């Protein structure tokens, strides 16, 4: 089946640094990418939705200048956490939407970010 490759699977960084997370659709073209995060013992929450070539749409309470999303091609989307702080430590997951043959969603395996 279709695969979304998400890297890195885990990352530890110092406070104030930036971290980039990549999601690639390996054998299909994703018209839309969704980015989620999950804090411990909480729900998986949608952060933003991005369509290829357009600016991302952010959910309420998500800082667009802190969480930069780039979706420059139909097979690659990136999330950059700028000037990360310990409160940004979370599990981040991407999801790609395909519309051909009916709507389908494919998820990456997630990235565990720990900010020291």
Partner 1 sequence: GDSVTQMEGPVTLSEEAFLTINCTYTATGYPSLFWYVQYPGEGLQLLLKATKADDKGSNKGFEATYRKETTSFHLEKGSVQVSDSAVYFCALRRLEGAQKLVFGQGTRLTINP
Binding mask 95-114 for partner 1 (x = CB under 8 A): x---------xxxxxx----
- Near partner 1 in 1-40, by CB under 8 A: 3-4, 6, 9, 34, 36, 38
For residue 111, how far is the Cα from the chain centroid? Answer: 9
CB 83, min distance to partner 1, A: 27
Nearer Cβ to partner 1 (18/27): 27
Number of residues that bind partner 1 (CB under 8 A): 22
Q: H helices of 8-115, where?
A: none
- The answer for 21, left when phi > 0, alpha when psi is -120 to 50, beta otherwise, is beta
Contact (CB, 8 A) for 13 and 32: no
Phi, psi of 111 (to 5 degrees): -130, 120
Q: 101 Cβ partners below 8 Å, 6+ apart?
A: none
Q: In 10 A of CB 7, how many CB atoms?
A: 13
Nearer Cβ to partner 1 (55/104): 104
Binding mask 38-77 for partner 1 (x = CB under 8 A): x--xxxxxx--x----------------------------
- Which residues form the interface with partner 1 (CB under 8 A)? 3-4, 6, 9, 34, 36, 38, 41-46, 49, 93, 95, 105-110
């Amino acid at each position: 089946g279709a695969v979304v490759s998400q890297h890195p699977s885990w990352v530890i960084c110092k406070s104030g640094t930036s971290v980039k997370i990549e999601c690639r659709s390996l054998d299909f073209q994703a018209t839309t990418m969704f980015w989620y995060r999950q804090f411990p013992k909480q729900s998986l929450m949608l952060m933003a939705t991005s369509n290829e070539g357009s600016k991302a749409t952010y959910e309420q309470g998500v800082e667009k200048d802190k969480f930069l999303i780039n979706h420059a091609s139909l097979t690659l989307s990136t999330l950059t956490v700028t000037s990360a702080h310990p409160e940004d430590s979370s599990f981040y997951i991407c999801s790609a939407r395909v519309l051909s043959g009916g709507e389908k969603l494919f998820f990456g395996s997630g990235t565990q970010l720990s900010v020291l």
